């Protein structure tokens, strides 16, 4: 290793001048100390609860998390049926839920990620999970979903005749099963419900949500904080752009990797 | 709840016709069974090791994971100094490493995510971690980093006079400390080393990597699988687009949320 004393602030090395006035310039107070373990209480900012469950799609939760956890004074908590580890839809990755459902009775923002068939169906059929979503929704400022997380909102009865989106392959299911009004878009806002399209769309939604929770400047800074200047090497990210053959291949790849 | 029998395949509801020919049409064999727990061994496809460490940035790891875990026959394993839970740079989220460093002696693809100052500096200063990165690199097909993960590659001595990128705020640090040649781009390929820019850039890199591990069609299908058709509500995802004031605010927001 050949590192100099500047390593103590590797993230600030490229920025000329000191820091310390940006938050004030944006009209924001210095952040309050958050509770250890990410408890969704105690802060002055929005309390954000992210539902985790076995079989979820990790990026559905982690994309929005990465933006929302840096909203000034926000407290973010991960919540699952039981506190502890959940495994993702591929079985490859474990994420930790710090709280059980019964420990979190209120959130300003509820985020429900999607998952593979197994995980989403189990969540939709689990009365405790669905009742928790419905109960939190009564007092949220924003109730949000990513991908097939919309189906869990649907199972909670929140999407009947509500404009919404979901994973591209689940659009008709969302309409036929829950009576939602499928509406194109990376995310769709309907009153206090915001549904995002599949997986990565949660990042786009979270930036919009950050703007609503604070203001455009903070959301713009958060976009830079996660260096979200997307430039994928292909342009096949929507079913319309990809066409039917890639749609079929995508679903087979999903199924082959599912656990 | 009001759900019909079609819920058993919520992800396939929108696709007309059966599935089962896409992999064959793409010239791919059906996937082999993967080892439980995501062990990076036993499969016929690429063995992919994702380094986790306390203080990492979750999206740096999870963005690429979400793409690469669905490369046909790939086996993905999460690795940390000790197997078990690591906490992210914000302290809010726990990710599970299934293997300790000494348990993973080879990988076809090594992915090193970035993190906040605390986590990256600790990883750079940890001889076991840096030696493991250097040792695996000797036999990898691809050695990759996201964000400040490049600094860990640098600490392992892999980036001297190598064109590379990193998190926008760490560009000059990468050059001055490790002798890398900072090169603009969402990801930069230099021989078998691919470095991605900050956080979300790992998704772009992973799609390119998926194409290298298979072919363009599979990578395009994986882009659709994660519905990566980005459309952020703002256009401030690079420091050049954001300007100095948003740069400063971004760094302050990062610091305020850091644990």
CATH number, position B213: 3.40.50.880
Total domains, chain B: 1
Q: Does the pLDDT value for residue B14 go beyond 80?
A: no
pTM for this prediction:
0.90
Distance (Å, rounded) from C-alpha B106 to C-alpha A228? 32
pLDDT of residue B42: 43
| Per-chain mean pLDDT for chain A | 89
Q: What is the average per-residue pLDDT within A207-232?
A: 98
What pLDDT digit, counting tens, does each position of B46-80 carry? Answer: 999 999 999 999 999 999 999 999 999 999 999 99
Q: Is B166 touching A (CB cutoff 8 A)?
A: no
Distance (Å, rounded) from C-alpha A75 to C-alpha B257? 10
- Strands (DSSP E) contained in B91-141 are 94-97, 99-100, 109-112
Confidence of residue A15 (pLDDT cuts 50, 70, 90): very low
A210 to chain B: closest CA residue: B233
Distance (Å, rounded) from C-alpha B196 to C-alpha B114? 10
- Cβ(A193)–Cβ(B206) below 8 Å: no
SS3 content of chain B, % helix, strand, coil (to 5): 40, 15, 40
Give the torsion sign (CA, A18, A21, A26, A30): positive
Question: Which residues does A5 contact at the CB level (< 8 Å), separation at least 6?
Answer: none
> What percent of chain A lies above the pLDDT cut of 90?
83
- In three-state secondary structure terms, A46 is coil
Distance (Å, rounded) from C-alpha B148 to C-alpha B253? 17
- Taking chain A, what is the end-to-end CA distance rounded to the nearest angstrom? 41
Q: How open is the CA angle B236-B50-B32, to the nearest 5 degrees?
A: 115
Q: Does the pLDDT value for residue A151 go beyond 70?
A: yes
Contacts of A118 in chain B (CB under 8 A): none
Q: Is the predicted ipTM greater than 0.95, yes or no?
A: no
In this complex, do A78 and B85 lie within 8 Å of one another by their Cβ atoms?
Answer: no
Region of A17 please: left (phi>0), alpha (psi -120 to 50) or beta: left
Picking from A22, A78, A204, the nearest residue to B248 by CB comes out as: A22
- A259 CA to chain B: closest CA distance, Å? 10
Contacts of B165 in chain A (CB under 8 A): none
pLDDT of residue A2: 38
Picking from B38, B204, B229, the nearest residue to A92 by CB comes out as: B38
Size of chain B in residues:
259
Number of A–B residue contacts, CB under 8 Å = 431
Q: Which domain covers residue B86, as residue numbers? A: 26-257
Instruction: Tell me the pairing of strands B75-80 and B47-51.
Output: parallel
Distance (Å, rounded) from C-alpha A176 to C-alpha A155? 12
- B31 CA to chain A: closest CA distance, Å? 6
Instruction: Tell me the pairing of strands A94-97 and A84-87.
Output: antiparallel
Q: Is B129 touching A (CB cutoff 8 A)?
A: no
Please provide residue B47's backbone torsions phi and psi, each rounded to the nearest 5 degrees.
-95, 120
- In three-state secondary structure terms, A43 is coil
- Cβ(A214)–Cβ(A72) below 8 Å: yes
Residue from B147, B159, B164, B188 carrying the catalytic annotation: B147
User: Smallest Cα–Cα separation from A57: which of A129, A114, A120?
Assistant: A114
B60 to chain A: closest CA residue: A226
Q: Is A33 touching B (CB cutoff 8 A)?
A: no
Picking from B12, B38, B229, the nearest residue to A251 by CB comes out as: B12
Assess if residue B111 is contained within a domain.
Answer: yes
Q: Is A121 touching B (CB cutoff 8 A)?
A: yes
Torsion of CA A180, A182, A187, A189, to 10 degrees: -50
Contacts of B6 in chain A (CB under 8 A): 173, 176-177
Assess if residue B17 is contained within a domain.
Answer: no
Picking from B2, B155, B256, the nearest residue to A31 by CB comes out as: B256
B147 belongs to the catalytic site:
yes
Neighbours of A134 (CB within 10 A): 15
Q: Is B224 touching A (CB cutoff 8 A)?
A: yes
What pLDDT digit, counting tens, does each position of A140-149 carry? Answer: 999 999 999 9
- Cβ(A252)–Cβ(B22) below 8 Å: yes
**Best of B115, B232, B259 to disrupt the A interface by mutation (most A CBs within 10 Å)?**
B232
What pLDDT digit, counting tens, does each position of A68-100 carry? Answer: 999 999 999 999 999 999 999 999 999 999 999
Distance (Å, rounded) from C-alpha A205 to C-alpha A59? 13
Confidence of residue B3 (pLDDT cuts 50, 70, 90): very low
- Secondary structure (DSSP) of A139-152: T-SEEEEETTHHHH
Assess if residue B134 is contained within a domain.
Answer: yes
- In three-state secondary structure terms, B146 is strand
B53-112 residues touching A, CB cutoff 8 A: 57-59, 62-63, 65-66, 69-70, 72, 76-78, 85, 90-96, 98
Distance (Å, rounded) from C-alpha A23 to C-alpha A26? 5
What pLDDT digit, counting tens, does each position of A152-183 carry? Answer: 999 999 999 999 999 999 999 999 999 999 99
Assess if residue B14 is contained within a domain.
Answer: no
Contacts of B256 in chain A (CB under 8 A): 23, 30-31, 70, 72
- B240 CA to chain A: closest CA distance, Å? 10
Q: Does the pLDDT value for residue B21 go beyond 90?
A: no
Max Cα distance, chain A (Å): 61
Q: How open is the CA angle A143-A46-B97, to the nearest 5 degrees?
A: 80
In this complex, do B224 and A58 lie within 8 Å of one another by their Cβ atoms?
Answer: no
Assess if residue A39 is contained within a domain.
Answer: yes
Catalytic residues of A: 147
Contacts of A173 in chain B (CB under 8 A): 6-7, 10, 13-14
Assess if residue A20 is contained within a domain.
Answer: no
Assess if residue B139 is contained within a domain.
Answer: yes
Assess if residue B148 is contained within a domain.
Answer: yes
User: Smallest Cα–Cα separation from B248: which of A11, A210, A68?
Assistant: A11
């Amino acid at each position: 290793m050949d590192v100099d004393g500047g390593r103590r602030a590797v993230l600030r090395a490229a920025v000329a001048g000191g820091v310390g006035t940006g938050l004030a310039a944006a009209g924001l107070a210095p952040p309050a100390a958050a509770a250890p373990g990410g408890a969704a209480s105690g802060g002055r900012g929005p309390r954000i609860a992210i539902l985790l469950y076995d079989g979820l799609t990790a990026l559905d939760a982690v994309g929005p998390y990465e933006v929302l956890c840096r909203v000034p004074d926000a407290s973010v908590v991960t919540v699952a049926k039981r506190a502890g580890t959940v495994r993702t839809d591929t079985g490859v990755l474990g994420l930790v839920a710090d709280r059980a459902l019964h420990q979190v009775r209120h959130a300003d923002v509820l985020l429900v990620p999607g998952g593979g068939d197994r995980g989403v169906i189990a969540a939709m059929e689990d009365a405790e999970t669905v009742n928790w979503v419905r109960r939190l929704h009564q007092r949220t400022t924003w109730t949000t979903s990513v991908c097939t997380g919309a189906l869990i909102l649907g199972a909670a009865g929140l999407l009947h005749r509500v404009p919404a989106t979901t994973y591209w392959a689940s659009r008709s299911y969302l309409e036929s099963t829950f009576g939602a009004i499928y509406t194109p878009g990376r995310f769709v806002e309907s009153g206090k419900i915001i549904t995002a399209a599949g997986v990565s769309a949660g990042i786009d939604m979270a930036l919009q949500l950050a703007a609503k929770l604070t203001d455009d400047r903070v959301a713009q800074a958060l976009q830079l904080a996660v260096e979200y200047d997307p430039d994928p090497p292909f342009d096949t990210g929507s079913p319309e752009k990809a066409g039917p053959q890639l749609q079929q291949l995508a679903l087979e790849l999903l199924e082959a990797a599912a656990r």
